[in-house]
């Protein structure tokens, strides 16, 4: 059974710092990996999707990497801003997107 | 585009009552799924569908039914609500083709008393 772990559960950093969020998974036979953002009381917003054949994806200040063989992904956020405060979730699919396995998330707080 | 629309946003039920959580998407996505989110446990898959008329169970299907009569709609039915079903429910949809992200609704916060 696929298990996804995100450590730490919570992280606070001063504004302007670069930071890395971690995601690990137990079964390397994944279809893709997605990073989501969730604001309190809201739904999930997709940030980046990395297909199994890719090593990384970039969108603005965000960069996500994937190392399938070691079962790890990282989400790098450059020049953090208070608006980046949210919970970040990673999810993997071993088939299509109809079945995602989620980590429990990292709650990020950016201190002005 | 409205994306994925869930109704209602909030609901309080008494133990034993039944109800249907509605989910609709306007993106012509083949895949639709229901998840529940509980503190400390992340999102867990309840049921999913790969197309109209096709549904299957996820990780935590007990106490829930689904049907998919159209591409757009994927309702989740609670047959006899229990306090253990108190949770936030999310509906998601995506294309079948590879490389496409999943889209989520805003969630339904359900309390069973």
Q: Counting one residue from A and one from B, how many pairs have CB atoms under 8 Å apart?
A: 73
> How close B88 comes to chain A (CA, Å)?
9
Take residue A96 and report the two structure tokens written for it.
């299509």
Q: What is the pLDDT of residues B47-75, one digit of tens each?
A: 999 999 999 999 999 999 999 999 999 99
Name the pairing type of β-strands A106-111 and A10-14. Answer: parallel
Q: Which residue has the tokens 């200040």?
A: A61
Nearest neighbour of A34 by CB, restricted to B49, B98, B101: B101
> How close A24 comes to chain B (CA, Å)?
14
Q: Find, among A56, A111, A91, A62, the residue nearest to B101 by Cα.
A: A91
Q: What is the pLDDT of residues A54-109, one digit of tens each?
A: 999 999 999 999 999 999 999 999 999 999 999 999 999 987 778 899 999 999 99
Contact B90 A43 (CB under 8 A): yes
Q: Find, among A25, A27, A44, the residue nearest to A86 by Cα.
A: A44
> How close A42 comes to chain B (CA, Å)?
5
């Amino acid at each position: 059974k696929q298990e996804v772990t995100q450590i730490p559960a919570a992280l606070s950093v001063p504004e302007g710092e670069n930071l890395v969020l971690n995601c690990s998974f137990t079964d390397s036979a994944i279809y893709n990996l997605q990073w989501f953002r969730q604001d309190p009381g809201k739904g999930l917003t997709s940030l980046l999707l990395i297909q199994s054949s890719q090593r990384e994806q970039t969108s603005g200040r965000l960069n996500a990497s994937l190392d399938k063989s070691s079962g790890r992904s990282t989400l790098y956020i450059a020049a953090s801003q208070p608006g980046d405060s949210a919970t970040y979730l990673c999810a993997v699919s071993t088939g299509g997107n109809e079945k995602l396995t989620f980590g429990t998330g990292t709650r990020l707080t950016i201190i002005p | 585009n409205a994306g994925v629309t869930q109704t209602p946003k909030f609901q309080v039920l008494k133990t034993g009552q039944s109800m249907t959580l509605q989910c609709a998407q306007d993106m012509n996505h083949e895949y639709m799924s229901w998840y529940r989110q509980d503190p400390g446990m992340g999102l867990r898959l309840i049921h999913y569908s790969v197309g109209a008329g096709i549904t299957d169970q996820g990780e935590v299907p007990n106490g829930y039914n689904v049907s998919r009569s159209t591409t757009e709609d994927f309702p989740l039915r609670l047959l006899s609500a229990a306090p253990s079903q108190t949770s936030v429910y999310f509906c998601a949809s995506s294309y079948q083709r590879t490389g496409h992200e999943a889209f989520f609704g805003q969630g339904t916060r359900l309390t069973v008393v």
